[in-house]
Each structure stands twice: as structure tokens, then as C-alpha cells.
Amino acid sequence: VITYNIPTPPGEKKDVLSPLPDSYSPQYVEAAWYSWWEKQGFFKPEYGNVSEPNPRGVFMMCIPPPNVTGSLHLGHALTNAIQDCLTRWHRMRGETTLWNPGCDHAGIATQVVVEKKLMRERKMTRHDLGRGNFIQEVWKWKNEKGDRIYHQLKKLGSSLDWDRACFTMDDKLSYAVQEAFIRMHEEGVIYRSKRLVNWSCTLNSAISDIEVCSYLTNFDISIYTDVFKMKCFPADEEVVVATTRIETMLGDTAVAVHPNDSRYQHLKGKMVVHPFCDRKMPIVFDDFVDMNFGTGAVKITPAHDHNDYEVGERHKLPFINILDENGLLINVPPPFLGMKRFEARKAVLQALKDLGQFKEVKDNPMVVPVCSRSKDIVEPLLKPQWYVDCREMGKQAADVVRNGELKIIPDHHLKTWFNWMDNIRDWCISRQLWWGHRIPAYFVTVNDPSDVDGHYWVSGRSEEEAREKAAKRFNVTADKISLRQDEDVLDTWFSSGIFPFSIFGWPTEDLRVFYPGTLLETGHDILFFWVARMVMMGLKLTGKLPFKEVYLHAVVRDTHGRKMSKSLGNVIDPLDVITGISLEGLHAQLTDSNLDPLEIEKARQGQKSDYPSGIPECGTDALRFALCAYTSQGRDINLDVNRILGYRHFCNKLWNAVKFAMRTLGEGFVVSDRWILSRLSAAVALCDSGFQAYDFPAITTAIYNFWLYELCDIYLESVKPVLSRTDSEGQKQADICRQTLYTCLEVGLRLLSPLMPFVTEELFQRLPRRLAQDSTSSICVTPYPETSEVSRGQRSSEMAEIKYLFKFDSLKITSNTFSAPNHLVWHCVKNSFPPPTASHFNECNELSVSVNMPVSKSFSANQGLIDLEKEVTKLTAKKGELEKQMEKMNEKMAKNDYKEKVPVKVQEADAEKVKNGLK
């Protein structure tokens, strides 16, 4: 491991006069550059702008704000690799470029972290401290630990304007949240209603859908379907019903059957009697019942089941709540009163047996909703909450995509977008927490004898404003108004929904420069929880879309196609890929986690299988390049650490190429702009089209092929003999080679810079500048190559390249010599040049192949510039190795259990490898 040991104060430029180390080392290359970039202001939108507005345009993108409690994972790494790549590309194109950082207060996650810390260190709960003191503890924790993820983002090379970093609980953003709520509440878009919510008994709060995970469980509380009988009234018969939650039968208010079920047609208008009380419950006929499942009769508990709630609404059934916020039974007969919800399951079952109304138990593994934060089972609970009416906003969000105002990439997400927007439900925005934006609504009591109800809600920017509103509404003096602010806070997604404009000071500051933004780039898994809400709230509150395009990247999975999970041992910290970590180090991380002992052992075995020697040091540049290379639109990413290591070797190849070039160019080298290579021009064109289409594999492939196969493997090897010649004619040829080589290196590094910012900066700093007046201090603010730059003079220099570089005394050209896949013919056709023929070459005394094309075996070169037999031997060996790999792959896919045991994503990847010949 080679490290950079020259004392360099933070923000000062790294030493670029000392010789480059013999080999590439990420620790050496990545040292010192970031603090210098930041101090120089390269990441600020104001940098380099000499006119306003900028004729090249504005590029603005805000970061998906990571949780303040979070630490970097591969999902963050992928997001930031793509976003930084795009940001650097736009910046190098001369646009006014802003990538705005920020962090989310993460209401539930942060409160849980601080509560655990409080209990661990002081044996206290938040209730022991009280609300005010607990909030101070959270702020203290945030100030001490909350910037950790920012440091990790800098480690990834993310070129964010850190002076604009914002936190969703900052005063500016909090004011915007308050204003958004009040405006929407006064308009009636936000309202209060008593409905079923996802309730966590551990957190004592409603939670959003994204915080509910569904598991096919083996828990004793849910694996069985209990079948029991209810007596009809007044008929002398019984109805057999089945349930997976027998404890909730204490809140039953009906039995439902399908309208077409012939078994129950005679029971229309009849009722059943509740086994434990005199409650008579109607038999209702509803289409939601599956008459082919079980007995075709289901019990209805409107207050404790989402489907039953809708049945209850349709048939106007009573809603009986039998659970409190802690999961204890209420409003039930004495034997069950005060029981915990899962203890009541056994008690109710036994009571039915004692009455003789229990029939049987059937095995029935079921999907159970679990809170991702607290890990307890989510309880549907009837609670008064604040809601956003999403019908009109959802229609608008669908319409802007249909009419092309907003573009979603890739477009296979459109179907899901329209399905969700066209069938959108109202959004529950209140949370029973202490940490977050407290809802600016006040409970009103009017101290007046003429007041009939006395309980209303008003919203206000202050208690005084709310009091004035209440007094005006009820036509009384302010002194007769009593107020109590709602204890709840807003859902974190509410503040995230206005993030694109709240960060610029909405509603008080001018948004014209950076709002609307240009692009939103994020994972498709939060398409509705964040993207949709930004679109809806942006249109509602500003009248404008928050961005013009949405690019959704895929989910990162392990090399086997499995979802990343701590219990599988396949969660990878990007910093471990960057710096490397031993197997023992990976095991130690598990010990510090919250996994139970059985999960830890399973994870250890997974780590041992996937990383028997640990993870090698790959560096930031290799990780970024690999993530972009993997990002095919519409496909999840099966990340193989070995492939990342391969891109570290690619960095080493760059390193050696530039070291060789520096020796070759020599001191006092003066750059000429005449020699621009056709393959470089093709790479520039491919990168430009790739960035425009968000086709990152096309970009990485074009750059990789140019540097590795065309420049290093062919051109550099080809010109070494030319550069070593000492005669006058040879010196002339060598000078041409140096000019061409410089152009390849300088333009090639600029092409690569958005993806690999560290190694390209290190190498760029060592190159001579093209023009004396070119004083660009960093590669990250040099112009990105354009095809016009590298193609001018290309046609006129084509034959000059051919004449000077390779001499042939005899050309035995046949009719097939220049057929595909001959690279020169391809190059000529691509650039509208007539393909060369035998007659063309026979007219020349000195002939050559284009400097960036592999030499065909049909050419017979003299002077020993290329050992054709050696090259053919290499290619033959490579072909043999590929054939062996293909044979192994076919054997793997032919196994009997291949389709059952191998994940579908891996099967698809294997099939593509076979189709493409393992390329």
C-alpha cells in the first residue's frame, strides 16, 4: 500500500511535482484532493460564471436527503455515483451547476436511536425527561453524530455545494413546512378524520406504508386459521366462519358472505349471535368475500382490519375498538379485559372450546405486517389523524406525465405510476412522536354558554394567530378562546415532499434561479413515498413541477441476486470496498449489530462463503465506475466485488499508460492540436449520447474500450518501436506520435473524469497544458470533450496517419481483407469516408493501418513493428479460455435444480452472458 505522506494542510493543493509512484494506489491518489476542490469553490454554481443568465443553461438537482441516523450503504453509493457523475458532466459542459446536499430528520428512526441511548446510558425513558428536555437530547445527538454521513459522501467524491447543506429541521425548512400545512389546511386539502391506521404498539404511533414490512411468518400467533361456529338468529342453525386473528372476534359486528354463494341465500335478513355477549350481528352480502376460500363466510371487525373497515363503511356497521395504543384489550367482557393482544388469542380460543363452538385449527402460514423500526406486528387501529386529500393532486401528477411535461425514465415505471395515481388514497400525515415538525394546529374550546360542540381545530403560525382565527370563526372575543396545540408531529415524508423548494427559502425567497430543478435521480423503491409527493406538493404549492425528468435506478443486490440483508451477511459498507477489510473485520461488524445470535451465525457463514479472504482495497474510483457500469435501465444490480477489483486494475492500466507517456513526451514538450484520433472521436460521441440517455453502461464501455483495448493494448504497443528510432525520418514520425498520444491522454482523462474524479485529477495535473493561456487548475472544471473538438482536421490527417506509422513493402490484399470486422472499414463507414480498397493502397509507397485499429493478420509488416504471430497466439489463448468458461456456464445451467435454487435475476444474467458469448 502506497500512501501520500507529503504534509499538505487541508484545502491546499496536493504536491504534483514529485514523481508518480511506480504503481497505482487508491490511498495515494485519493489523498488531499477533495478538500482542495471544496476550498477552490469548484462545486459552487457561481464558479466560472461570467454572465447571467448562463447561455449554456442551468443544471440543478437536489440529493435524496439521507436519514440523519444513517450510514453509507451500497444504495447510497449507487445513488451518489450516478448523481455525481451527472453533476460533474454538466459542470464540465459549462452549465451553472448545483447539486444541493441535505439531510432528513428521520422522525421515527432518530427518536428510537436517542431513546435507546437514553435507556442504555441513563436508564431513563423520554417520558422521564419530558418533551422539551428530550428534544434537547435529540439535538445534542444530531450535532455530535449527524454529520457522519456527510463525511462518507465526501469520501465518495460527491461534488455537492456544502455551503448550501440543509437539515429538514432547520428554521428555514421548518417555516416552509408550517406554511405548507396552514395553506393546505385552510383550503380544506388537509383535514382531520378518524380512520384505520398502521399502528405500532411499541412506538405508540401511526406509521407510513413504507415502514411496514410484510413477512411470510412462522410466528405462533399467526400460523393457524381457527374455525368456529356462530348461532343464527332467529333461525335454528349455525354459520361456520374462519379467522387468522381470533382475538379480534371480540370486536366483530357482522358476518359476510358472497352475494352469489348458494349456501347462504336463505340467510338473507338473518343475524348471528356473538358467542360472548348478546350482540346480534347481521349477515351481509359483499363481493369482497372469496366464496371458494374456506367456508365462504368471514367475520367482520371494521375497527381492526383494512378490508373489514371498507365493508363496515359500505354496510354502515358499528365500529367497536377493542385495543388501546399499547395493544391491551378494552371494551370487552371481563374475562378478557386488559389482556395483551396475543395472550387474548389463547384465552378466546379456550373460551370457544368451553362453549362448544370451536370446530378445528388449520395450518395457514400468512403474511404478517411488521414495523421495520420496532419489529413489532403492526396493528390496524381506529384513530383520529390528519390527512391530505390527494384526489385532485394525484390527477394532476398523472396528467403531467401523460402530456409529457414530466418524463419518467425508464418508462416501464409509467404503468405503476398511473395505477397508483389514478387510484390514490388520502395520505395520513400525523405521527404520535416528539421529534419532528409539530403540527401547527390547535384544539379550540369556546368558553361560552351558547357553544354547543366546543371542539374544533384551527391552524396558525403562532398561538396568537390561531386564537384570532378561532375568535373570528366563532364570533366571540379572544379571551373566551382556549387553545391546546396538537401533540403530534408531521410524517417525515411531508417535509421531504417540499424539499426541492423549501431548501431555497420558499415561500419568502426568490426561487427563479434554481427552481424548478432539472432532474431527480433516485431509487425506484421510493417512487410513491417521495417522488410522487414532491410532484403533487410542488404543483399544489408553487404551481410548477419540481423537476423536468425523473431517472430511477435499480436496487443493488448481492452477486447471487439476493436482496441485501444483515442476516444474510451480504450487506456491504462502501467504505469497506474503498479501503478493504479482512474477513475477521466483517465478522466483527456483525458482533456490533443488533442481530440475534442465530442471525449472526448465519451472516458469518454468508460472509465466509462470499468473502473468504475479505474484501480487497478497490478505491473510490473503481467502486464508482463499477456501479455506473452495472446500471442498466430496468434491471436490478447484482454486484460482484471481484468486478470492482477489475476496475481497480483498470486504474492501474491508466496509471502506467500516463507514466509511459510522460517519459515519452519528455521535457519541453509543446502540444499541437492537429492529431485527433478517430477512435477517440467515436468514444466522445458514445459518451455524449450515453449521458443524454442516462445509459451509463454505454459510457463506461466506450471509455473502458478506448483506454484499455485501443490506446493501451494497440496504439501504445504499436508506437513503441517508432518512438525508439533515432534517425531524422524516425524523429519526425515520433513527434507525430507524441502529439497524437497527448491528445488521447488529455481528452481521454476528461472523458473519464465524471466517473473517476480522483485518479483523473492526479494524472491530469502531471500533463502539459495544451495552450500557454490555458490555466485551468482542475480537471473537474475543464470542458468536457465534444465531438467537434476531436474531429476537426480528422479527415485531412487520415492518410498522414496511414503513411507515417506503419510501412508495408508488400500487401497481399484479397477480396476479404477489408471485410467486417475490420476496424478501418467500420471507422470509415461510421464517419462517411469511402472504405479503402486494394487499389487505394497500391497507389501508395508507404502504407499503414489507422493508429487505433488492430492490425489484421492479412497485413505483412516488415521492420518488426508488430509481432503478428505473437498477437494471434494471445488471441487464440483468450478464445480457448472463453470457450472453457462457456462450457462451465452451460453445465451450470443444465443442472436439474438450477431453476429452483438460482434466483431469477441471476438466471437472466447467466442467459445474457451465454447469448453474448461471455463478453
- Domain limits of the chain? 224-365, 558-638, 640-804, 888-918
What cell was used for 689?
Answer: 449520447
Question: Is it the case that residue 632 has pLDDT exceeding 60?
Answer: yes
Question: Is it the case that residue 408 has pLDDT exceeding 70?
Answer: yes
Q: Under DSSP, is residue 890 helix (H, G, I), strand (E, B) or coil?
A: helix
Residue 670, pLDDT score: 57
Contact indicator for 91, 84 with CB cutoff of 8 Å: no
Computed over every residue of the chain, the mean pLDDT equals: 83
Q: Under DSSP, is residue 191 helix (H, G, I), strand (E, B) or coil?
A: strand
Short-list 765, 786, 790, CA closest to 776? 765
End-to-end Cα, the chain, rounded Å: 32
More confident residue, 356 or 805: 356
Backbone angles phi, psi at 573, to 5 degrees: -80, 125
Residue with cell 421531504: 496
Residue 381, pLDDT score: 93
Residue 854, pLDDT score: 35
Measure the CA–CA gap between 202 and 378, rounded to whole angstroms. 9
Contacts of 392 by beta carbon, 8 Å cutoff, 6+ apart? none
Q: Of 331-345, 509-523, 614-628, 824-838, which range is least confident?
A: 824-838
Measure the CA–CA gap between 572 and 562, rounded to whole angstroms. 13
- Please state the rounded mean pLDDT for residues 841-863: 32
Short-list 812, 823, 795, CA closest to 847? 812
Per-residue pLDDT band at 147 (split at 50, 70, 90): confident
Q: Which residues pair with 273 in a beta bridge?
A: 231, 280
Q: Of 87-101, 519-533, 712-726, which range is least confident?
A: 712-726
Measure the CA–CA gap between 254 and 282, rounded to whole angstroms. 5
Short-list 535, 494, 441, 527, CA closest to 206? 494
- Please state the rounded mean pLDDT for residues 552-567: 78
pLDDT single digits (tens) 192-206: 999 999 999 988 999
Residue 775, pLDDT score: 62
Short-list 673, 787, 652, CA closest to 739? 673
Short-list 350, 480, 426, 26, CA closest to 188? 426
pLDDT single digits (tens) 266-292: 999 999 999 998 899 999 999 999 988
Total-model pTM: 0.82
Q: What CATH fold (topology level) applies to the domain 640-804?
A: Isoleucyl-tRNA Synthetase; Domain 1 (1.10.730)
Residue with cell 443493488: 556
Residue 695, pLDDT score: 93
Question: Is the domain covering 224-365 a CATH 3.30.530.20 domain?
Answer: no
Angle at 868 between CA 862 and CA 874, to 5 degrees: 160
Angle at 277 between CA 275 and CA 282, to 5 degrees: 70
What are the Cα distances from residue 686, in Å, to 95, 463, 680, 692, 731? 20, 60, 10, 10, 34
